[in-house]
Chains A and B, each alone.
Chain A
Amino acid sequence: MGQTQVARAAAREAGTIQLISMPRLKQVLPSVAVIAVLLGVWWSVVVATSSVIFPTPWQVVNGIGELMRDGTLWQHIAASLFRVGTGFALAALIAIPLGLWMGWTRGAFTTLNPLIQMLRPISPIAWIPIAILWFGVGNVSPIYLIFISSVFPMVVQTIAGVHTIERRYLWAAANFGVSRYTLFRRVVIPAVLPQIIVGMRIGLGVAWLVVVAAEMIALRSGLGYLIIDSRNAGNRYDLVIAGMVMIGLIGLMLDGFMRLLERLKAVRWRYAR
């Protein structure tokens, strides 16, 4: 009797461990396999064509090691993260209140929306000459380019969020006769929050996407600078790809951080059903 209980408990425990780790492994395994296959193809093509300029994956790994050893990798990453962080934070600070206002006030929407829809499709690269003219070659220009590229997706998402608040919730708020402040704090903002988080995910993604373009006009730092500089100074394509790999990995991490916001208790309702 006692033994069977112990055996059962052990079986249950084994089952629990399996429940936690197996599905995760199953989720990760296919994507790792796809990446491994691509690396294999890359490697064999470089070897087969005996290219002197295009590096193998191993040469890229060595390149990353070289940058890590002389410490420049961390400087480039820190510089890029600082610019993206500042540009994105400024964009969020302006986009979210602006989006709430434009979504709520019909006049603000009809007045400002055409302007925003006109500015939105202009590539950040087109802004480079103007950024240099206005801000010179320094930190401000790339921050401005990152700002301009991430502000519009967040404005548009926030407006859409306000426009899609269900009427029954606004009616309920009106029924209880709450103040304008309570209406905004307790109904409008929480109702739009899931959409704001989606906007922030897109915005940060775009901000990180344009980091290379933005750092074409940066002074001696940043992952974008690393890529441009490695090509210009001696065709170091191993370092070019090393920079690209780092941008990809950090982008993945940034999106992971933003996804953590979706687990907030106050927005779970949107994803739970």
Chain B
Amino acid sequence: MPAKIVVQDLTKTFASDTGALRVLDGISFTVDEGEVVAIVGPSGCGKSTLLNIVAGFERPDEGLVQFDGATMTRPTSRGILISQHGSVFPWLTVQQNLMFGLNGHAMHDKESLADRYAAMVGLNGFEASYPHELSGGMLKRAELARALVVKPDVLYMDEPFAALDALMNLRMRNELLRILAKERHTILMVTHDVEEATYIADRILVLSPRPTRIQTSFEVSLRHPRQLTSPEVQELRAAILRQLGVDSFSD
């Protein structure tokens, strides 16, 4: 099976006051269809830049990104970005937000599709609400539903649940796993939360500090739902943290 996403030798340099700042320094990896890949790295290492390039929003200086074998030059609706701070349109209701990306459907079909996906993420009864009337967790659900309703192959997630409180963060992880069990998507997520990565991902790539390269890769073959307290997960977590230069004192 050919890889869904191929990333080859990406480099990116930003101009800064003190001269050129090299952010990405030759990054290559692939993501297979249906795979959940998490990229973890220290803050400021260029995780978001990497994801923005892979999703087609920014251009690399060198290297290329292939999506289904074709070179990415701009974003497509087959891969939706869930941004860190959320991008649910505040001037549209939940239903209007969900219908936003649905082109070429009849109005009635759009509405019923939107309502079905709102119900799927637990937002039934809030279709007519405006985003400022929703809590942070509900906003994330709306954003997730808006992405899923266009039936993308890939979800790009940038620190998807970082802005939520700890309890809602846990809930949304389970929600995501529940949805993944129902509709098999390919997911590429970046996060600084090692626990989140070990809970969700099939494979974890660890980035080095700037200029960023891929330092290590961990295959996670544990089945869902994973027990975060189990020895295997704890061992994995400690190994990733060691890669990030943090010693774990959990045992």
Contact residues of A with B, CB < 8 Å?
A: 168-169, 171-179, 186-187, 190-191, 193, 265-270, 272-273
CA gap between A172 and B80 in the complex, in Å: 8
| Residue B41 CB within 8 A of the other chain | no
- A193's nearest neighbour on chain B, judged by CB, is B91
Q: Report chain B residues within 8 Å CB of A272.
A: 132
Contact B132 A168 (CB under 8 A): no
Q: How far is the CB of A265 from chain B (nearest CB, A)?
A: 7
CA gap between A169 and B57 in the complex, in Å: 13
Contact A175 B77 (CB under 8 A): yes
Contact A172 B89 (CB under 8 A): yes
4 shortest interchain CB distances as A-B pairs: A176-B101, A269-B90, A190-B91, A172-B87
Contact B57 A174 (CB under 8 A): yes
Tally B residues with Cβ within 8 Å of A. 23
Q: Report chain B residues within 8 Å CB of A171.
A: 57, 75, 81, 83, 87
- Interface of B: prevailing SS: loop
CA gap between A190 and B88 in the complex, in Å: 13
Contact A177 B81 (CB under 8 A): no
Q: Report chain B residues within 8 Å CB of A169.
A: 87, 89
Q: Report chain A residues within 8 Å CB of B87.
A: 168-169, 171-172
Q: How far is the CB of B148 from chain A (nearest CB, A)?
A: 12
Contact A176 B92 (CB under 8 A): no
| Residue B126 CB within 8 A of the other chain | no
CA gap between A177 and B130 in the complex, in Å: 23
Contact A268 B101 (CB under 8 A): no
Q: How far is the CB of B96 from chain A (nearest CB, A)?
A: 8
Within 8 A of A (CB), among B97-155: 100-101, 103, 130-132, 150
Q: How far is the CB of B54 from chain A (nearest CB, A)?
A: 13
- A and B contact pairs by CB, cutoff 8 A, 18 listed: A168-B86, A168-B87, A169-B87, A172-B81, A173-B100, A175-B57, A176-B77, A176-B100, A176-B101, A176-B150, A177-B76, A177-B101, A178-B103, A190-B91, A191-B91, A265-B130, A267-B91, A270-B90
CA gap between A176 and B99 in the complex, in Å: 11
Q: Report chain B residues within 8 Å CB of A173.
A: 100
